[in-house]
């Protein structure tokens, strides 16, 4: 089949990324990490603690970013089907970057307008300002989807199957580094704001900080992707789509026709949920079971993050290239299951140092599994519609992380009802045990994943759709 031969050729003869080009491309992921810690960390805390926003308004507003996850499929297909000046990915990355930097800049006045409405007690003003806040977070989520989906598709375009574990390891390490850099920047920029709750003093300082961050992030986003994407010679920017490109409707027909796509979507959903179900309750686990103060519980995610950073590098540079993606993903998932039971045992022993060590192990397991899972995700695409596939995989991850935030706390409440208030370890053990069961289900689903069958199914369907266009 001609299309199958073209696809295999495109997979085997990609130019690849040199270490320097890969490092530059990964800077964009670092920018996303920096903005993530600002939105989910700094602004979240300021709205709740300093400005006395209702927690449900803050949580609901931030949730609108995740609710925009389905747009990833749309933006992925748009980048596949509608190149700008002969390039499919870079223009959309830059447009999305401009969008989320703009939303970040205007988030400060919108937040303080909402604070003013809440302080006035005017119900109409509160409703309209709250809607404006939720709309802003929704637009921020749309811009993130618009930029990040073509970005991952660009990674697929520029790497060979063999190179992807290394690329994924570097790129996701840069995401963690971006989070660290963002945290340090926040600490330095807000050092003089400790204890200040006066909006008249907070707003100008935060506005200056956000403007500087947005300008720097946008500049880095431009530099990160500049000149990396080759201009397609067969694409007329002003003409119709290439014959190898299909619209969203036919892309969706192709996606739903493959059993392997459904299997891998289910694996990604279960894996991501099994990995992040503990995320919203981890610091509470340290506080209630180990009696750690706030200054110590904040270190728990740091230990987990350091382990994850090491695991990503270990998986990308050594484990995955030697053992293969499926085997490495299976090993990483079983390590996560073991780490969850070690968390329970650390609570039984009440050994704080043991808790820190377990979290490092947990992070290493998460990094190894994530590297192989993301490499599989990038392999389970078709080059001609890479954006559409990345959008679908991104949708699975985003929805699972959103479910993890909701279900993690809800399951803890159920655990407390079952165990009673006198034994918090039982309540947390209930959540960790369910999380391990979800991960075991993910492993079972992973055993059904076959890259070979995926390529056979999707290549045949893609050729059928393209032939239909020619009739």
Q: Cα(413)–Cα(416) distance, rounded to whole angstroms?
A: 5
Give the structural domain span for 252.
Answer: 246-471
Task: Select from 374, 380, 371, 373 the least CA-distant residue to 317.
Answer: 371
pLDDT given for residue 11 in this prediction: 42
Out of 186, 202, 231, a domain closes at: 231
Residue 168 within any structural domain of the chain: yes
Least Cα distance to 384 among 459, 303, 295, 323 occurs for 459
Asked whether residue 362 is assigned to any structural domain, the reply reads yes
In this prediction, residue 110 carries a pLDDT of: 94
Q: What is the pLDDT of residues 58-109, one digit of tens each?
A: 877 877 887 888 898 889 889 988 889 889 899 999 999 999 999 999 999 9
Total domains present in the chain = 2
Q: Are residues 379 and 444 in the same domain?
A: yes
- Shared-domain flag, residues 221 and 280: no
My answer on whether 214 and 254 are in the same domain is no
* 10 is a domain residue: no
Say whether both 290 and 220 belong to one domain. no
451 part of a folded domain: yes
DSSP sequence for 66-93? HHTTTHHHHHHHHHHH--BTTBSSHHHH
Coil/strand/helix, residue 301: helix
Q: Judging by beta carbons within 10 Å of its beta carbon (0-12, 13-18, 19+), is residue 295 exposed, middle or buried? A: exposed
Q: What is the CATH number of the domain that holds 284?
A: 1.20.1250.20
Domain stops at, among 231, 262, 279: 231
Pull the structure tokens for residue 140: 């921020």
Same domain, 327 and 440: yes
Q: Can you give the pLDDT at residue 468?
A: 55
Residue 198, judged by CB atoms within 10 A of its CB (0-12, 13-18, 19+), counts as: exposed
| 381 vs 389: CA distance, rounded Å | 6
At residue 237, the pLDDT reads: 40
326 located within any domain: yes
Is residue 1 one of the residues assigned to a domain?
no
Q: What pLDDT is attached to residue 12? A: 42
Helices (H), 13-122: 19-37, 44-45, 55-67, 71-81, 90-120
pTM for this prediction? 0.77
Q: Is residue 217 part of a domain?
A: yes
266 falls within a domain? yes
Cβ 390 vs Cβ 153: under 8 Å: yes
Identify the segments of the chain with pLDDT beneath 70.
Answer: 1-16, 41, 55, 194-195, 232-256, 294-295, 298, 384, 459-471
Residues 25 and 94 in one domain: yes
Q: Are residues 93 and 152 in the same domain?
A: yes
Which of 231, 265, 292 is the last residue before a domain boundary? 231
Do 183 and 79 share a domain, yes or no? yes
Angstrom CA distances, 127 to 97, 130, 132, stand at: 29, 5, 9
Q: Does one domain contain both 38 and 113?
A: yes
**Does 224 share its domain with 80?**
yes
Shared domain for 183 and 253, answered yes or no, is no
Using CA atoms, how far apart are residues 394 and 396, in angstroms rounded to an integer?
5
Q: Are residues 394 and 304 in the same domain?
A: yes
pLDDT at 453: 87
Structure tokens of 381?
Answer: 């695409």
Tell me what pLDDT residue 263 has. 92
């Amino acid at each position: 089949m001609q299309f199958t031969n073209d696809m295999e050729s495109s997979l085997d003869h990609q130019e690849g990324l040199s270490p320097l080009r890969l490092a530059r491309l990964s800077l964009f992921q670092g920018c996303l990490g920096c903005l993530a810690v600002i939105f989910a960390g700094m602004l979240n805390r300021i709205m709740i603690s300093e400005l006395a926003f209702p927690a449900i308004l803050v949580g609901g507003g931030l949730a609108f970013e995740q609710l925009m996850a389905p747009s990833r499929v749309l933006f992925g297909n748009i980048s596949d089907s509608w190149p700008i000046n002969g390039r499919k990915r870079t223009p959309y990355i830059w447009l999305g970057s401009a969008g989320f930097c703009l939303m970040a800049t205007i988030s400060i006045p919108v937040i303080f307008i909402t604070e003013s409405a809440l302080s006035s007690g005017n119900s109409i003003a509160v409703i309209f300002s709250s809607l404006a806040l939720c709309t802003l977070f929704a637009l921020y989520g749309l811009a993130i989807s618009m930029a990040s989906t073509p970005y991952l598709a660009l990674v697929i375009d520029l790497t060979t199957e063999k190179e992807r574990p290394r690329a994924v390891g570097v790129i996701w390490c840069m995401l963690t580094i971006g989070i660290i850099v963002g945290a340090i920047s926040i600490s330095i920029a807000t050092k003089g704001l400790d204890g200040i709750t006066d909006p008249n003093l907070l707003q100008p300082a935060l506005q200056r900080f956000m403007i500087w961050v947005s300008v720097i992030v946008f500049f880095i986003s431009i530099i990160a992707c500049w000149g990396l994407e080759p201009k397609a010679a067969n694409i007329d920017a002003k003409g119709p789509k290439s014959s190898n490109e299909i619209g969203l409707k036919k892309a969706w027909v192709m996606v739903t026709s493959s059993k392997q796509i459904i299997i891998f979507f289910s694996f990604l959903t279960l894996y991501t949920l099994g990995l992040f179900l503990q995320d919203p309750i981890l610091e509470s686990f340290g506080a209630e079971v180990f009696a750690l103060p706030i200054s110590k519980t904040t270190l728990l995610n740091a230990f987990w993050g350091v382990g994850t950073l090491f695991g990503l590098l270990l998986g990308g540079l050594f484990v995955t290239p030697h053992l293969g993606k499926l085997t490495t993903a299976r090993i990483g998932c079983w390590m996560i299951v073991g780490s969850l039971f070690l968390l329970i045992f650390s609570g039984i022993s009440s050994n704080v140092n043991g808790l820190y060590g377990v979290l490092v192990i947990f992070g290493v397991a998460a990094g190894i599994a994530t590297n192989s899972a993301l490499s599989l995700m990038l392999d389970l695409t078709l080059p001609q519609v890479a954006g559409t596939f990345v959008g679908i995989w991104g949708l699975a991850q985003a929805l699972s992380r959103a479910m993890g935030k909701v279900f993690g706390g809800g399951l803890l409440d159920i655990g407390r009802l079952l165990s009673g208030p006198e034994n918090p370890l039982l309540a947390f053990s209930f959540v960790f045990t369910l999380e391990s069961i979800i991960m075991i289900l993910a492993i079972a689903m992973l055993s059904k994943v076959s890259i070979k069958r995926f390529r056979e199914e999707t290549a045949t369907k893609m050729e059928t759709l393209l032939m239909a266009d020619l009739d």
